[in-house]
Structure 1
Amino acid sequence: MTSRTLGVIGLGSMGLGAALSAHRKGVPTWGYDVRPEACAAFAQEGGRVAASPAELATQCDVVLTLVVNAAQTEDVLFGTGAVAEHLKPGSVVVASATVDPSLPPQWAARLRERGVWLIDGPVSGGAAKAAQGQMTVMASGSREAFEAAGDVLQALAGKVYRLGDEPGIGSTVKMVNQHLAGVHIAAAAEAMALGMRAGADPAQLYEVICNSAGMSWMFQNRVPHILAGDYRPLSAVNIFVKDLGIVLDAARQFTMPLPLAAAAHQMYLQAAAAGHGGEDDSAVIKIFPGIELPKGAVA
């Protein structure tokens, strides 16, 4: 499909899916993660595993960084990971963590000094769509950056939106997406808590709402975690502590009031403070008193 070689740094729920999707479509793909079990999962499917980000960079033309936050991205590129030092000129980095939109232009400038391009390319869709090669990429960057990436983005995503020539636009659009996602999950948890407190059967409530005007994608996707009592993290409470923090920080720069985002952020902070930060983001429902949540094999 393409002569370019892909490297994926961060083989988490979405990174592993993206790497496997590209690999299955015939793109030569390397992977790296600090967790040996994540590397083993990729190797088991026939993927090539690098011993370090630097080694991966020497083997690849396109490097996708799907790490947790801006600090990890900077460390991978310019710190201990040393990816920028080992990429050959003409390569491209696709930075996919959700970050402050002011940061990708800075990274692009530093990489350009080494002859390397940057695509600001945050992603959405969750683990399932990543595994199917159907996640959405919200991408911005120069014409040269997209030419350097070739067909690699299409190999790991269902939709690639080219949003402009300047890094930072992609992260702005992802920020808006996270505003909505965070508010929708918090609203779903609040609504389910109200229904349960009032005596509605949770499973019946879920079914009715999913076939009514109040349904959202996040309600449909996250409430089953609550019904199963399964809070193993596909996306954790702490992710929305971070992402809605990014939203609110940006809003302050524009003197933009965001009362719904602020309220949802406080809900995730309350859940994290109560010890649920590492649990699935649907665990935000645990902040509501006076309700008995369904019990599952995994709490």
Structure 2
Amino acid sequence: MKNPRIAVPLLSTLMSFGAYTSAQVQPMLETESPSAASVSTQAEAAGTEQALVGLITPEILSQAIADGNLEEVLAEALGENPGPEQINALQGALDGLAVNVPADAAVAARAVVARALALAIDNPQAAVDLSQAASRVLTYPGVAEADPAGVGQALADVVGVVTLAKRSAESQGLTLTGTEVAEQAVQFAQTNDAVSAAVPDFNERVAEAEELANIQADLADVIPAAGDDEADDAAGDEDGVGDDTGLGEAADQVSTLAITGDQGGGGSSIISTAAPR
């Protein structure tokens, strides 16, 4: 017969051990939900660019498109100063979509161009780099066929990004690399059958993108390039773009500016060097 005085302490010990292990496991179960964490939360926890790189994948971009928060995901994953690893990861993700889901690639690339425009004043080189990543995908034949109208507009916007980035870089005394992407965007749009058919007014859209970029630069007090003072004065006096003009009003003035042919701020039209209007 078993001694009850031994069995009771043993049972008590086992129960205590079970409670201890349960207490240790429970916090782990409560915290294991990475899918619920936002991009920014994951990035802050890791605190490294490498962590952000892991968040830029074709799957994440496609899910963001489906969820309707692609711009937010890109803003959080790229930040205000995206590094080479982030941009390379973005390029890989966009390339993957271009091959497997061209329609998503078109949407994602357009959002990247929009993000590039948002960074053009404060970080002109990053803006140009992002434009290059987007343009590479926008010029995939399959992507252009999937959304020719959207691709055409995005390529026109690339010219606007480069225009604004160049204005900003010149005012800061910086030398940009990769600005030839603007000419390449124009040439592709004008020679691709699907895009040229979907956007017959592409040249006008490029002119509008350039004008809007120059207006944004003026509103941000970006100093024009040397030798462009006269053009800047003309933009302010003849176009009526004052210091207190809002971005919404500036956007409304773009079509008028393009028609009259005035050049706002500094810089010349990319159309004049790429192809006749």
Q: So what's the TM-score if we normalise by structure 2?
A: 0.30
Max Rg structure: 2
Q: More strand by proportion, 1 or 2?
A: 1
Q: So what's the TM-score if we normalise by structure 1?
A: 0.29
